[in-house]
Amino acid sequence: MQHHRKWLPSALLGCWLAAQSLPAWADEAPPRFQVAAPKGSLSFVVYGDTRFTDRDGVANAFARRALVAGIAGENPAAIFIGGDLVYQGDDPDDYAIYKGETAEWTRRGIPVFPALGNHEFRDCRTARADSLCLENWWGTFAALRPWRWYSVAVGDSLLVLVLDSDASLRPGNSQRTWLEGQINDADSDARVRFILILLHYPPVRDPIFPRGKDEAQVQRYLSAAAPILRARVIVIGSHVHNYERFERDGVTYLVSGGGGAKPLPVLRMSGELSQLKTSVNFHYLRFTLASDRLTGTMVRYEATEAAGDRWSEPDRFEIRSRR
């Protein structure tokens, strides 16, 4: 059974769940949240590797706060974060910094939908410790408890599937079975024109970076499934602290890991499409959803002191519906 729930402000969510010792839906399918879409078009934001923390040397807090403010100025319908929200998952202070720096998002009532990344589990690599790290995550995003993956319907035409790439994605596993079921159900719904898959480890990325877990399984599955789907598929990962764009078997693959974490250079090989000349790319992705097209824009922030106009949009792409 699929649960459909509208997103509530985080403060209300906390009160709603605190009153229930055991949610009624705990033993059922992962929830589906709803983001209402006005007539015409709407915009939403995707990015990752924000690393909210006060630790030195692991993130650029100046750039991170500038991106948060820029996103607030966009006033998007939703914000999707591809993991590594914090630097150290066992530290509740990192989550407190996230809440403090994004207070304007909360004030504006912008829903935030996060994916789990490896830093959400940093220093939590036993079953007992994992539960402590997940408590910090669920304590911040109470509506997700007890789930590690879930879906979001943005209007009628876009389905977002948020995965946990630290959990198994191999055939037959519960998350993989859920993923395939969600895609099959979406393909039978004539209203769904786009499927966006969000996970931390990007299935397609600069070849110098090693694989994380099972993300290659996602590409392998989509290479066979996506060409015959009626919906167009977009996959967005983070983990690599930069920006990349690829096309494989009709699927658009993006890396958006420029949310504030210490930058990493990329070689822009293997058919990388943006071919950016800048090695440091703090950024977020703005998507505009219309009835028959999804337009993506990489919004870049220049964090150096000598910068004039700090904001630019060096990459833009459009994905048209097949329907």
Give tens-digit pLDDT for 12-31. Answer: 333 323 222 233 333 479 99
Burial class (CB in 10 A: 0-12, 13-18, 19+), 227: exposed
Q: Following CA atoms 222, 284, 186, 170 in sequence, which dihedral angle do they give, to the nearest 10 degrees? A: 40
% of the chain exceeding 90 in pLDDT: 81
The first and second tokens of residue 159, run together, are 């389905």
> Within a domain: residue 14?
no
Average pLDDT over residues 185-203: 97
Strands 79-81 vs 112-114: parallel, antiparallel or unpaired: parallel
158 to 116, 154, 232, 295: CA distances (angstroms): 21, 5, 10, 13
> Within a domain: residue 69?
yes
- CATH number of residue 191's parent domain: 3.60.21.10
> Within a domain: residue 96?
yes
> Within a domain: residue 196?
yes
Q: Work out the pLDDT band at 10, boundaries 50, 70, 90.
A: very low
The first and second tokens of residue 210, run together, are 């090693």
> Within a domain: residue 185?
yes
Is the confidence at residue 2, as pLDDT, over 60? no
- Write the CB contacts of 8 (distance below 8 Å, at least 6 apart in sequence): 16, 143
- Write the CB contacts of 205 (distance below 8 Å, at least 6 apart in sequence): 237, 239, 240, 244, 246, 253, 255, 266
Predicted pLDDT of residue 23: 35
Predicted pLDDT of residue 128: 63
Is the confidence at residue 154, as pLDDT, over 60? yes
Quote the number of domains for the chain. 1
CB 203 within 8 A of CB 164: no
Predicted pLDDT of residue 92: 96
The helix or strand, by DSSP H or E, that contains position 102, with its residue range, turns out to be none
Predicted pLDDT of residue 129: 60
> Within a domain: residue 15?
no
Q: Whole-number mean pLDDT of the chain?
A: 90
The first and second tokens of residue 156, run together, are 């009628």
> Within a domain: residue 34?
no
> Within a domain: residue 102?
yes
Range of the domain at 209: 41-320
